């Protein structure tokens, strides 16, 4: 018998008010032929996890009594890395020791263990398997636990909508130092695209610029430069030198910042909005639509991949390959190990992680 714990909520609200730890048993002698038991290795706190708990995110898990809670409850967390610790007699995709990530959102990854069916998980190579396959490196827990959202978002936005010509074309993005932004910088470099990353000004701007250029950023500019008419010709010269165009803009900020990045687009360019960090609406001047035929569209990885298993698997394999070949660096998380039976309950780890999210991505490891 395995004693498992999961972080759940019965009512929506702020995580500090509504989360609790639910303890339950998984009978590992009685698993069905197609079932697996997984042990969690790590699960992060993403902005969307918090929004789900608050009840303001369009996709959320059902509230049920499946885990044995006294009232219908939903498990928290969407991303996480798991190790298979037991397989049913008919399971063909997994063996004990394999690593896996949930195949769909809303699985509930803020937990110690789970009983699932094999189709609920997708296999990832564990470090021994990568080594045996002759790869330079194996996945880290942080890479595996955060692989499903940010790196895949960056890759899909850069490749799925607009065909950028390697060596010539450009994309511009705001939130250049966000986790997604750092993956977009690295992936665009791997694919040969030029990038302009807009970041907020700060006292150590030079350090940030060096960091982003170290990751492969072509140019890094501030919000002030993004909004300045005088700075426009500098950008035009950069683009002229490569003989390409700025065909794509990635917007996770909104407000005046999104106007600035959209203005840099060439005729017929596309702006994809995937986040709203400033809480301001996207503002696009009418003339950009009429005279430059700019398109403004949304990007949501959940919707794009929901019914496209092939695209999901292809994208996941690409990111795994780059990690194994040490061509991609993960956006670092601040890791806190969960101590079972310690002074703090499991949900308190995540409540603290939610508060600390402003200092950087939080990962609870097990």
Ligand X SMILES: NC(=O)c1ccc[n+]([C@@H]2O[C@H](COP(=O)([O-])OP(=O)(O)OC[C@H]3O[C@@H](n4cnc5c(N)ncnc54)[C@H](OP(=O)(O)O)[C@@H]3O)[C@@H](O)[C@H]2O)c1
DSSP 204-228: THHHHHHHHHHHT-SEEEEHHHHH-
The reply to whether 266 sits near ligand X by the rule CB under 6 A is no
Query: Residues 77, 80, 151, 275: which binds ligand X (CB under 6 A)?
Result: 275
User: In what side-by-side order are the strands of the sheet with 74-75?
Assistant: 20-26, 2-9, 74-75
Contact positions with ligand X (CB under 6 A) in 54-113: none
Integer Cα distance of 142 and 115 in angstroms: 22
For strand 334-337 and strand 362-365, is the pairing parallel, antiparallel, or unpaired?
A: parallel
Residue range at the interface with ligand X (CB under 6 A); choices 75-83, 145-153, 228-236, 237-245: 145-153
Under the binding rule (CB under 6 A), the answer on residue 253 touching ligand X is yes
H and E: helices and strands count for the chain: 14, 16
Residue nearest to ligand X (CB): 275
Closer CB to ligand X, 41 or 272, in the complex: 272
**Active-site residues: which are they?**
57
In 46-179, beta strands by DSSP E: 74-75, 81-87, 99-102, 113-117, 121-124, 170-173
Note whether 178 binds ligand X by CB under 6 A: yes
> Helix or strand or coil: residue 296?
strand
Residue 347 Cβ vs ligand X, minimum distance, rounded to whole Å: 22
Q: In Å, how far from its chain's centre is CA 251?
A: 15
Q: Which is nearer to ligand X, 160 or 344 (CB)?
A: 160
Strand partners, 25: 3
> Minimum Å distance from CB 287 to ligand X?
24
Asked if 301 is part of the footprint of ligand X (rule: CB under 6 A), the reply reads yes
Q: Let me know: does 138 contact 324? Beta carbons within 8 Å.
A: yes
Q: Which is nearer to ligand X, 116 or 185 (CB)?
A: 185
Residue of 200, 213, 292, 318 interacting with ligand X (CB under 6 A): 200
The answer to the question of residue 248 lying near ligand X (CB under 6 A) is: no
Among 53, 76, 179, 270, binds ligand X (CB under 6 A): 179
Of 61, 77, 108, 175, the residue at the interface with ligand X (CB under 6 A) is 175
To which H or E segment does residue 6 belong? strand 2-9
Candidate list 36, 87, 115, 149; residue touching ligand X; CB under 6 A: 149
Taking the least distance from each CB to ligand X, the nearer of 127 and 276 is 276
Element (H, E) at 289: helix 286-292
Q: Provide, rounded to whole angstroms, the least separation between the CB of residue 33 and ligand X.
A: 35
Query: Which of 2, 190, 300, 336 lies at the binding interface for ligand X (CB under 6 A)?
Result: 300
From the list 277, 282, 284, 329, which residue makes contact with ligand X (rule: CB under 6 A)? 277
| Closest separation in Å from C-beta 209 to ligand X | 13
Q: What is the dihedral of CA 185, 237, 291, 250, to 10 degrees?
A: 10
> How many other C-beta atoms lie within 10 A of the C-beta of residue 62?
9
Q: Count how many Cα atoms sit within 13 Å of the Cα of residue 315 in the half-sphere of its side chain.
A: 23
Pick one of 121, 155, 193, 299: the residue that binds ligand X (CB under 6 A): 299
Residues that contact ligand X, how many (by CB under 6 A): 21
Using DSSP bridges, classify how beta strands 81-87 and 35-45 pair: parallel, antiparallel or unpaired.
antiparallel
Residue 185 engages ligand X in binding (rule: CB under 6 A) = no
Nearer to ligand X, 233 or 298 (CB): 298
| Residue 153 touches ligand X, criterion: CB under 6 A | yes
CA distances from 165 to 61, 173, 187, 192 (A): 40, 17, 14, 8
CA 252 to chain centre: 13
Contacts with ligand X, residue ranges (CB under 6 A): 47-48, 149-150, 153, 175, 177-180, 200, 252-253, 257, 274-275, 277-278, 299-301
């Amino acid at each position: 018998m395995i004693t498992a714990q999961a972080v759940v909520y019965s009512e929506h609200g702020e995580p500090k008010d509504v989360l609790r730890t639910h303890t339950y048993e998984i009978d590992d002698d009685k698993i069905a032929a197609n079932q697996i038991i997984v042990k969690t290795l790590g699960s992060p706190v993403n902005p969307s996890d918090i929004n789900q708990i608050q009840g303001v995110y369009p996709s959320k898990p059902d509230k049920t009594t499946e885990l044995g809670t006294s009232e219908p409850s939903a498990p928290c967390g969407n991303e996480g890395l798991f190790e298979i610790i037991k397989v049913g007699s008919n399971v063909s995709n997994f063996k004990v020791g394999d690593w896996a990530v949930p195949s769909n959102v809303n699985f509930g990854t803020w937990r110690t263990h789970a009983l699932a069916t094999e189709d609920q998980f997708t296999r990832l190579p564990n470090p021994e398997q990568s080594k045996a396959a002759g790869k330079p490196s194996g996945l880290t827990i942080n890479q595996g636990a955060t692989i499903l959202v940010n790196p895949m978002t960056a890759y899909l936005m850069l490749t799925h909508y607009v065909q950028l010509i390697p060596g010539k074309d450009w994309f511009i993005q705001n939130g250049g130092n966000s986790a997604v932004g750092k993956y977009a910088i690295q992936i665009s470099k791997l694919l040969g695209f030029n990038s302009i990353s807009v970041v907020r000004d700060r006292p150590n701007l030079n350090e940030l610029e060096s960091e982003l250029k170290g990751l492969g950023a072509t140019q890094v500019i501030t919000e002030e430069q993004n909004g300045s008419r005088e700075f426009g010709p500098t950008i035009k010269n950069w683009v002229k030198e490569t003989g390409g165009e700025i065909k794509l803009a990635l917007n996770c900020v909104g407000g005046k910042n999104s106007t600035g990045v959209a203005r840099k687009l060439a005729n017929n360019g596309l702006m994809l909005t995937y986040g709203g960090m400033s809480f301001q609406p996207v503002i696009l001047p009418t003339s950009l639509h009429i005279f430059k035929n700019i398109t403004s569209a949304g990007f949501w990885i959940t919707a794009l991949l929901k019914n496209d298993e092939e695209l999901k698997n292809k994208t996941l394999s690409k990111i795994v390959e780059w990690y194994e070949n040490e061509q991609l660096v993960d956006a670092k998380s601040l890791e806190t190990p969960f101590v079972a039976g310690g002074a703090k309950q499991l949900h308190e780890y995540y409540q603290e992680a939610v508060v600390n999210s402003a200092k950087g991505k939080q990962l609870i490891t097990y």
